[in-house]
C-alpha cells in the first residue's frame, strides 16, 4: 500500500499494557490509552483453527500510520470494538515518514 495521507481515514486508538494490582498479591493486565490518531487499515489474509475445542478465527491486517517513536509489539490498536494486536512495526521505505504495522485481529 502506498503511504498517502488521504488513505489514513480510520480513527484509531493506541493502547499499551499496564500491570495493575489484582488485590490478591498478583497483577492483572489492563490496557491504557496512549494516543488517538488516523491510520489506514487493510485486511491481507486470514485463517481458522481449532483452539480449546472451538473454532477460532484470525485475520491479518496492515495498519499504516504516521511515524511515531513509541510504538511496539506489546501494544495494540482499537477501532471501536475491533482490536488489532501489533506483531511487528516497520519503516517500510526507510524515510521515517510512515510506519507499517503487521497486526492480527482475533475473533472468539
pLDDT in tens, the chain (108 residues): 456 778 899 999 999 999 888 888 888 889 999 999 999 999 998 888 787 788 877 789 999 999 998 998 889 999 999 999 999 999 988 888 999 999 999 764
We report the CATH number of the domain holding residue 51 as 2.40.10.270
- Structural domain range at position 68: 5-107
> What is the Cα–Cα distance from 71 to 67, expressed in whole angstroms?
9
Q: How many domains does the chain have?
A: 1
Which pTM value belongs to this model?
0.80
Contacts of 68 (CB under 8 A, 6+ apart): 14, 35, 37, 99
Q: Which one-letter DSSP state was computed for residue 5? A: G
Amino acid at each position: 500500500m502506498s503511504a498517502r495521507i488521504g488513505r489514513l481515514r480510520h480513527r484509531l486508538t493506541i493502547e499499551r499494557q499496564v500491570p495493575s494490582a489484582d488485590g490478591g498479591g498478583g497483577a492483572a493486565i489492563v490496557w491504557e490509552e496512549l494516543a488517538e490518531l488516523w491510520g489506514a487499515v487493510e485486511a491481507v489474509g486470514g485463517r481458522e483453527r481449532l483452539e480449546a475445542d472451538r473454532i477460532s478465527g484470525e485475520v491479518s491486517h496492515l495498519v499504516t500510520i504516521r511515524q511515531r517513536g513509541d510504538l511496539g509489539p506489546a501494544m495494540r490498536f482499537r477501532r471501536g470494538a475491533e482490536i488489532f494486536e501489533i506483531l511487528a512495526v516497520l519503516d517500510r521505505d526507510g524515510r521515517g515518514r510512515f510506519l507499517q504495522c503487521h497486526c492480527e485481529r482475533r475473533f472468539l
